[in-house]
Chains A and B, each alone.
Chain A
Amino acid sequence: MSKSRFGLIAYIAFVLIPIYWLLNMSFKTNEEILGGLSLFPADITFDNYIKIFTDPSWYMGYVNSISYVTLNMVISLLVALPAAYAFSRYKFIGDKHMFFWLLSNRMAPPAVFLLPFFQLYSSVGLFDTHIAVALAHCLFNVPLAVWILEGFMSGVPREIDETAYIDGYSFPKFFIKIFIPMIRSGIGVTAFFCFMFSWVELLFARTLTSVDAKPIAAVMTRTVSASGIDWGVLAAAGVLTIIPGMLVIWFVRNHVAKGFALGRV
């Protein structure tokens, strides 16, 4: 037993040490970072964080990212819920093809869509808005959301639907009052995945924005200037991008195990 404990601890150390290194650096001044290697900051400085929290062009990056991620989460769930229900309950013309076509969008390399997206969203006047990025991220999040939700919904026995209809429930009323509460954890997990993939994506978010909706990931490239890289601020900004993810995973921790199987175990 202790041998397996050791293996696990070694793996977790492998996961955490690079992150610790980033954290360590974010509390150092640039002189100390470039001066030599040290496992702990010699004298802890919060200047890097203060710089980010007092400069609107920095902290607005976080606000922008969170705005489009939230929008994307809401849109994805709203359209995916009815569709997943249809896929899990009914047979209809072209259902299998539709499902594979949806999944094929999850496989589409973002680089393929980069230029057309830029032109599409520019021509409809959505360039540099949060909604543009949110819609672009739907390309891979909606198929995933349908996939996960379909798995969870198939786990709910049909008899429940039938009983509800016999009891006189209309479809919308049944769906909202009975069905959605039953797959609560599935919805939480789906939201988590949508958050995750939208939050970590950079290519679309960077291409579709310039000033007003610029995501934090793109703002971070500012630390590279003619005078070199501002390592301390870069590290601090990196640490701050990890925090929202950790909060989200904390909220869904009890469903994570089930959710990662996408309802399919």
Chain B
Amino acid sequence: MNKVENNKAWFLVLPVFLLVAFSAIIPLMTVVNYSVQDIFDQNTRYFVGTEWFRQMLFDTRLHEALLRQFMYSFSVLLIEVPLGIGVALLMPTKGKGASLALILIAIPLLIPWNVVGTIWQIFGRADIGLFGWAINNIGIDYNYAGDPVDAWLTVLLMDVWHWTPLIALLCYSGLRAIPEVYYQAARIDRASRWAVFRYIQLPKLTNVLIIGVLLRFMDSFMIYTEPFVLTGGGPGNSTTFLSQSLTKMAVGQFDLGPAAAFSIIYFLIVLLVCWLFYTTIMHISRDDR
């Protein structure tokens, strides 16, 4: 669609700009301000320049949290995207069954994040939770509160439970937009099930998958509440992701300067990765058409 050039349109954007400026630019400036100062109390503060940034960039805690974070976010995407597409393909296309399946699958998305943590906290316990009890009874020693690997897998499973529905529903809506004639043509050509998926369904899903992958990446990269409720970041540091380390530093130890420097680095990483994702995906989808 050709857009008309009109700079008066800024007046329509102004409310959003002011609102987001109030809730984003002012706080961000505060963070920048903190990041270059050493703060003892309200009146005693010294300018330290890039000291905190240097300290944070060489901080092993940050490196470890970052590595854990990337591993986590990529595992999340690797599991949730194919599973979500799979579920969307299985869903009935019309009738009562379709809306029922839609509603049931959407439920985890609408549960407050701390309740998601609570659900899995209970569900995974060996004494009162069905899941923990069942796993232990098969003979696998499972204890998310004591074993780092179990804790990590539980957080991952919880995320798959919680967020695969988003991908599934996105893909479901993408599939609904494919006209029936495409399938008819494929049937006439005797296309295999795989060919139908690869050349008809997948291209049509690109748009929604871009949204899905971006949203899932952003949200998994800032995950805080669920692991916090489940294990508090433990055992050890096995489920301490970036947000968790940051909150510990800022609210727990009240190291405002380093925490602020950490925040800025964190934010820049998110921006960078999202931008990379966005441009690559845009590139691929342009090639496909």
Contact = CB atoms under 8 A, between A and B. Distances in A.
Given A80-B16, A107-B218, A34 B24 contact: no
Contacts of A37: 128, 130, 133
Per DSSP, are chain A's interface residues mostly helix, strand or loop, or mixed?
Answer: helix
Interface of B: 1, 3-10, 12-13, 15-17, 19-20, 22-24, 26-28, 30-31, 34, 86-87, 89-92, 99, 101-115, 118-120, 122-123, 127-131, 133, 161, 165-166, 169-170, 172-174, 176-177, 204, 207-208, 211, 218, 221-222, 224-225, 242-244, 246-247, 250-251, 256, 259, 263-264, 266-267, 270-271, 274
A63 interface: no
A50 interface: no
B102 A83 contact: no
Given A93-B7, A246-B107, A264-B211, A259 B173 contact: yes
Nearest to A245: B110
A122 B60 CA distance: 34
A142 B20 contact: yes
Contacts of B90: 4-5, 7-8, 11
Nearest to B118: A238
A200 B110 contact: yes
B179 to A, nearest CB: 11
B16 A146 contact: yes
26 contacts: A8-B91, A11-B87, A11-B90, A15-B107, A25-B128, A37-B130, A91-B4, A92-B9, A102-B20, A111-B244, A111-B246, A112-B266, A112-B267, A113-B28, A115-B259, A136-B23, A199-B112, A201-B112, A201-B113, A217-B114, A234-B118, A244-B110, A245-B110, A248-B110, A257-B102, A261-B170
A109 interface: yes
Contacts of B8: 92
A110 interface: yes
B16 A83 contact: yes
A265 B246 CA distance: 38
A250 B103 contact: yes
Contacts of A178: none
Given A4-B90, A260-B172, A17 B250 contact: no
Contact of B9 (A33, A90, A260): A90
Pick the 6 closest A-B CB pairs, nearest first.
A245-B110, A116-B27, A265-B177, A109-B222, A90-B9, A86-B12
Given A220-B118, A253-B103, A154 B6 contact: no
A265 B174 contact: yes
Per DSSP, are chain B's interface residues mostly helix, strand or loop, or mixed?
Answer: helix
Contacts of A12: 101, 104-105
B177 A261 contact: yes
Given A8-B90, A109-B221, A85 B3 contact: no
Contacts of A82: 12-13, 15-16
Nearest to A108: B267
Q: Which of B91, B112, B264 has the most CB of A within 10 A?
A: B112
A202 interface: yes
Given A7-B86, A109-B267, A112-B263, A92 B5 contact: yes
B9 A89 contact: yes
Contacts of A253: 99, 102-103
A173 interface: no
A253 B107 CA distance: 12
Contacts of A139: 20, 23-24
A46 interface: no
Contacts of B224: 109-111, 203
Contacts of A5: 90
Given A8-B87, A264-B208, A15 B173 contact: no
A202 B208 contact: no
Contacts of A234: 118
A86 B9 contact: yes
Interface in A128-176: 135-136, 138-139, 142-143, 146, 154, 158
Nearest to A28: B128
A241 interface: yes
Nearest to B242: A109
A180 interface: no
Given A7-B86, A109-B266, A257-B169, A242 B9 contact: no
Contact of B107 (A19, A120, A217, A262): A19
Contacts of B92: 8
A244 B142 CA distance: 34
A182 interface: no
A249 interface: yes
A98 interface: yes
Q: Which of B7, B20, B120, B204 has the most CB of A within 10 A?
A: B20
A15 B27 contact: no
A71 interface: no
Nearest to B6: A90
Contacts of B23: 113, 117, 135-136, 138-139
